[in-house]
């Protein structure tokens, strides 16, 4: 019972931290203006790790690789911590299981990133319907634009209703069901 509670707390803490690192990476990649309360919050929450990491990991082509690596490391620590809580025999397994844990962390990171993208699309759609002049509207428009733009090229609005968020969410769900789940199952087989 206590192991389940501790596992839940560990997953929650590391997933929230990973979300913050991913959002910081995505905001820079999507060219979201950083002069808004949401972005300032993310910067303050993640600066403790991103600033020192940037000294070791430079950016590449305008990408914040330090935030991306910290996102993956948070998921890796979460995967290792959950397995440790459940009593995984790390000492007996040796380093042979390291590729499996790296792939499990990659699958977990991809799953979390895709869920965040779904969240960006949903929030942008709701804001555009309820209050398109909200101060956060430009932020979530910019966050969801890389996901929605390819669909908006092929799916015109029907009677003023944009169906591209629906198509994007369906495609992301398909990616989560097929390749990401397959990667997760393959990685789980490597750590048994």
Q: Which long-range contacts (CB under 8 A, 24 or more apart) does 155-161 make?
A: none
CB atoms within 10 A of CB 188: 13
Confidence at residue 33, expressed as pLDDT on a 0 to 100 scale: 82
pLDDT in tens, the chain (192 residues): 788 889 899 999 999 999 999 999 999 998 888 888 888 999 999 999 999 998 888 877 878 899 999 999 999 999 999 989 988 887 787 788 889 999 999 999 999 999 999 999 999 989 988 888 888 888 899 999 999 999 999 988 888 788 899 999 999 999 999 999 999 999 988 887
Instruction: Calculate ∠ Cα 165-166-169, nearest 5°.
Output: 85
Name 30's Cβ contacts closer than 8 Å, sequence gap at least 6. 142, 143, 145, 146
Confidence at residue 131, expressed as pLDDT on a 0 to 100 scale: 85
User: What per-residue string of b and e applies to 6-20 under the rule 16 or more CB within 10 Å gives b?
Assistant: ebeebbeebbebbbb
Specify the DSSP class assigned to residue 31.
T
In the block, residue with structure tokens 């629906």: 166
Name the pTM for this structure. Answer: 0.91
């Amino acid at each position: 019972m206590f192991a389940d509670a501790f596992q839940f707390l560990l997953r929650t803490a590391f997933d929230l931290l990973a979300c913050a690192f991913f959002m910081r990476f995505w905001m820079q990649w999507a060219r979201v203006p950083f002069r808004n309360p949401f972005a300032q919050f993310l910067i303050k929450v993640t600066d403790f790790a991103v600033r020192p990491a940037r000294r070791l990991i430079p950016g590449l082509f305008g990408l914040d690789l330090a935030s991306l690596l910290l996102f993956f490391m948070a998921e890796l620590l979460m995967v290792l911590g959950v397995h440790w809580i459940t009593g995984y025999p790390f000492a007996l397994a040796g380093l042979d299981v390291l590729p499996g844990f790296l792939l499990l962390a990659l699958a977990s990171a991809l799953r979390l990133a895709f869920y965040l993208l779904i969240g960006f699309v949903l929030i942008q759609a709701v804001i555009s319907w309820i209050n398109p002049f909200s101060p956060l509207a430009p932020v979530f428009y910019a966050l969801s634009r890389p996901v929605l733009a390819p669909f908006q090229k092929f799916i015109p609005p029907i009677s003023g209703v944009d169906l591209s968020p629906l198509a994007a969410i369906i495609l992301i769900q398909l990616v989560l069901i097929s390749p990401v789940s397959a990667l997760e199952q393959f990685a789980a087989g490597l750590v048994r």
